[in-house]
Amino acid sequence: MPDTKKFIENLSGAGKSIGVLTSGGDAQGMNAAVRAVVRMGIYVGAKVYFVHEGYQGMVDGGDNIKEASWESVSSMLQVGGTVIGSARCKDFRTHEGRLRAALNLVQRGITNLCVIGGDGSLTGANLFREEWSGLLDELVQSGQISEEAAQTHSALHIVGMVGSIDNDFCGTDMTIGTDSALHRIIEVVDAIMTTAQSHQRTFVLEVMGRHCGYLALVSALACGADWVLIPEMPPKDGWEEQMCHKLSESRLRGSRLNIIIVAEGATDRHGNPISSNAVKDLVVRCLGFDTRVTILGHVQRGGTPSAFDRILASRMGVEAVLALLEASPGTPACVVSLCGNQAVRLPLMECVQMLQAARSKHAELCVPMVMVPATVSNNIPGSDLSIGADTALNAITDVRRHTLVSECVCVWGGGHVYLFVKSTVLSHPNACALLQAFESLLQLVDARSRYEEFCVPMCMLPATISNNVSGTDLSIGADTSLNAIVEVRCTTLTDAAYIYEEPFDIRDLQSNVKHLTEKMKTSIQRGLVLRNENCSENYTTDFIYQLYSEEGKGVFDCRKNVLGHMQQGGAPSPFDRNFGTKIAAKAMQWISKKLKEFYREGHVFANSEDSACLLGMRRRALVFQPVIQLKDETDFVHRIPKEQWWLRLRPLMKILAKYKTSYDVSDSGQLEHIVLLSID
């Protein structure tokens, strides 16, 4: 087979200038995107410019547009908001303002723009691009630029990245900042639940979302809220009585608290706003419960970005630079999006038009529902959402009411743990479905020929902080562990990471020490080295610590920290709570379907490959994969998949740490198209 790999060494940014700006509302992770654009741009030989204060800085020019250096983006990865500033700009909405902006860019040779913002910011960028040639003609006619300058800068290329905590942009599963905002919400909810339980209180939480209820809906799933109100799904008339009945039932079952989450843009079916205070007054009036209101407001925009947002923004920033390098005069403005676990490029205006059409015709399309289990949605009475217990177990019990499953005993964790689900099929008690760890599940499948009791549907859900299960890009627990690591140590860029999958020797260690020493002699006087516990038998943590300490004398000091089981502790992240909920619900749907499919003559007999599966996230979708087929993809000796997608991030880490390396861009996002499906 011909080698189809394409490497970044063959893509040059020499002679190109890239401007990067943040516009609209700020979102955690924007700085990580800016940093990735700057460092990737410089790495390929381009000049990169900060455009401070968004479009206002582009219009005003002067010191608002400054060339960025490698060091100028140091120590911004962990900072929330946007350090280059953002501002609403009325001037850019006028033709005269865009003419001034074009002049400022041409004077600096900038014909490539990375715009990080919401749909309004990206729409403005596309209009700017469409008017570009006409603006240059006007500048030539007024004598502000030469004909030669107009020809040299004849095409403006635009690549967008969506920064919005609301997750309100069509075409991407997650926007930069959404995961961090969910962290802030869940932190508040978890804290409130303790005081609510102590005093038998009801809490009404108002979260952001004037037009999009994603934060409200997903945080409700993640915390086990009793009720949620979102703008996309106005409740039916009489919802007040229904909600109060639900809260009363919860108290009668022994619950000492109630949580109601309200999106700030929630309305009833007549367009009347439903405020958090109105909900509180309703509960007090009808039930007499001690009820308090908490309005989170801009707390949701604050704080450090989560591990997910740092990685997402970094991947998108690198992808944006690649898109600009590959752009031609006929290439439409694109937006870098996330589909499942894969970066894709979509025509910017197709996404905007789809969003506008959705808002005007089918408001429910405005919410990216990737994190919401369909089964939970099916359990919503009418247009309301009612969620009872916690995360995955809650999903299983909810699905149980609508499937053949009658009993459920659940034990969660990584390694060899089991979830046994007894079921009754047409009043026959002999069927049993199992959710089991991978190696144990293979043993059960192998034993089917000897024990008919194992001829039942089996499904495994990947749950391990190591993220080392074959057949899935992501495992429950890995995101929580990453956040624990980030919160404890990763306040700076990693300079070296030693892992089992990439063998290293003393020459590599020497090179890393030299690289860090040279870095410390610049204005960046901080460093971080990470070591996997099993990366080498001889190059231990103590050895590496002593090596860096000795070689860094007179230049830097070293400290050592072994995180250990801190990575396994703490409350689960919002991503893990909702990922667990989603795949558990999907697994129960699958089991219910298989129980019916394999029911024959009074009992269940499932002996085919597709009746024992792992449910995993692979690139763009959740897929059920027979564990027998995954056997060849697994290195059982070292308990890892033979191919691990995240190793493709390794070169990116090195590039952003200023190492020269080879990076395969064959799998980078390609321009695709989206279609708005009609809903009857």
Q: Among all residues, which ones are annotated catalytic? A: 166
Measured CA to CA in angstroms, residue 403 lies from 396, 578, 600 at distances of 10, 21, 18
> Which residue, among 452, 433, 469, has the nearest Cα to 592 in the 3D structure?
433
For residue 133, give the H/E element and its range. helix 119-141
How far is the C-alpha of 317 from the C-alpha of 320, rounded, in Å?
5
Question: And the tokens for 658?
Answer: 């200023």
**Counting beta carbons within 10 angstroms of the beta carbon of residue 71, is it exposed (0 to 12), middle (13 to 18) or buried (19 or more)?**
exposed
Q: Which of 318, 275, 278, 331 is nearest to 156 (CA)?
A: 331
Distances (CA, A) of 182 to 27, 264, 376: 12, 15, 19
Q: Round to whole Å and give the CA distance between 145 and 85.
A: 29
Q: How many Cβ atoms are within 10 Å of 647's Cβ, its own excluded?
A: 11
Residue 340 — left, alpha, or beta (φ > 0 → left; ψ -120 to 50 → alpha)?
Answer: left
Which of 383, 347, 390, 333 lies closest to 363, judged by CA? Answer: 383
DSSP three-state, residue 233: coil
Helix (DSSP H) and strand (DSSP E) numbers for the chain? 20, 23
Residue 161 and residue 12 in contact, taking contact as beta carbons nearer than 8 Å: no
Name the CA dihedral angle for 425, 427, 430, 433, rounded to a multiple of 10 degrees: 30
Which segments of 213-306 does DSSP mark as H helices, in order?
A: 214-223, 239-252, 276-287
Q: How far apart are CA 425 and CA 649, in angstroms?
A: 47
Where do the DSSP E strands lie in 482-574? 496-498, 529-531
Q: At 635, which helix (H) or strand (E)?
A: strand 634-635
Task: Indicate the SS3 state at residue 229.
Answer: strand
Rounded to whole angstroms, the Cα distance separating 25 from 279 reads 28
Give the list of residues 6+ apart from residue 233 with CB closer than 8 angstroms, or none. Answer: 213, 364, 383, 384, 385
Q: How far apart are CA 405 and CA 592, in angstroms?
A: 7
165 φ, ψ (degrees, to nearest 5): -70, -15
Q: Do the Cβ atoms of 287 and 247 come closer than 8 Å? A: yes
- The encoded tokens of residue 232 equal 């996309």
In contact, 171 and 675? CB cutoff 8 Å: no
The per-residue DSSP string of 47-81 comes to EEEEETTHHHHHHH-GGGEEE--SGGGTT-TT--S
Length of the chain: 680
Q: Regarding beta strands 112-117 and 227-229, do their DSSP bridges make them parallel or antiparallel, or are they unpaired?
A: unpaired
- CB-hemisphere CA count at 13 Å for 662? 5
